[in-house]
Homo-oligomer: A and B are copies of this chain.
Amino acid sequence: MSTRSASAGDAIEPIAAGSDGGAAALQQLAGRHATGYRSVGVMVYDILRDAILGGALVPGQKLRQETLAELIGVSRLPVRSALIQLEADGLVEFHDRRGAVVKSLSPAQAKEVYDIRTLLEIEALRLSMSEMTPERVERLRELGQIADEQQEGADFVDARTAFYAELYDAERHPVLWEMIEQLRLKVGRYVLGWRLVGGAEHGHSHEKLIEAVAAGEVEPAVTVLREHLERVRDAVLELLDAEATAAEAGAVSARRSGRR
C-alpha cells in the first residue's frame, strides 16, 4: 500500500517534488474525486489531470502505472486509459517500453502556445462580439464575479473556464473553443503557479475587458485581451526560467547528496 518499493525507481527522477513524488497529494485528490463517477477511467483521468495541473506531479516525473493504480485505489487498466488520454492532451509523454512521464514545456513552446492563443482568442472575441446580446453581457458579469472570488486550484480553473466559454461563445464556435481549451490546458500547470505568486491585480483587466465588451468597443477589447495574454505569457516565461534554474540547482544538490 505504501511506497516502499518505489524507492528503487526514484534514482532517475529528475525533479524531486517531495520525497514521495506527490503521493500524498495524489491520494487526497483521489479522495475528493471519489464520489459518483460514471466511469472509473474518466475519474482517474480527472485525478491525474488535476494532479499535474496542481503541481502534485511535476514535469519529468515518471508515472508508474501500478503505483498510480494503488494510490488511487483502482486497477491498472483505467490508469492506462487515462494516461493515453493525457498523452493526447499533451500533458504526458510515452517512452516506448519505459512508461509515461509528465511532459515538460520548453520556454519556446510556451511562447508558441501564447502566441497562438493570442491569435485564436482575439478571433474568438471578434466573432463573439459581433453577435453580443445584453443577456450574455449580464451573464458575463456574473461569471467574472464568480471567477474572481475563487482562489483554490480546481474551482479557480473551472470558474475561469466558464467565464471564457461565455465570452467566446463556445456554444456557437465549438471547434475554436476546443482549440483554445487545449492550449490553455498545456500551460495550465504554470498559470496556477503564477496565480499564486502575483496574480492579485488580475481582476482589473477582467473588468476592463467586460466593460469594453459591454460597450461594444471591439478594438479596445481586443487590446485589453492582447495585453492580458502578453502579461501572462511573460510571467509564465519568467516562471519557466526560474524553474529551469531551480531544476539545475536541484540536480546538483541531488547529485551531491544522492547515491554515487
- Set of chain B residues within 8 Å of A173, measured between Cβ atoms: 112
Asked if residues B38 and A179 are in contact (CB atoms below 8 Å), the reply is no
Main secondary structure of the interface of A (DSSP, over half): helix
Selected from B38, B39, B81, B120, the residue in CB contact (under 8 A) with A116 is B120
Q: Does A175 contact B (CB under 8 A)?
A: yes
**A127: nearest chain-B partner, CB-CB:** B115
Q: Does A84 contact B (CB under 8 A)?
A: yes
Smallest beta-carbon distance A20→chain B, Å: 29
Q: Does A160 contact B (CB under 8 A)?
A: no
- Set of chain B residues within 8 Å of A200, measured between Cβ atoms: none
> Which residues of A are at the interface with B, using a C-beta cutoff of 8 A?
38-39, 80-81, 84-85, 88-90, 96, 109, 112-113, 116, 119-120, 123, 173-176, 178-179, 182-183, 186
* Seed contacts A38-B96, A88-B89; 12 additional CB < 8 Å A-B pairs: A80-B81, A81-B81, A84-B84, A88-B88, A109-B174, A112-B174, A112-B176, A116-B175, A119-B119, A119-B120, A175-B186, A179-B182
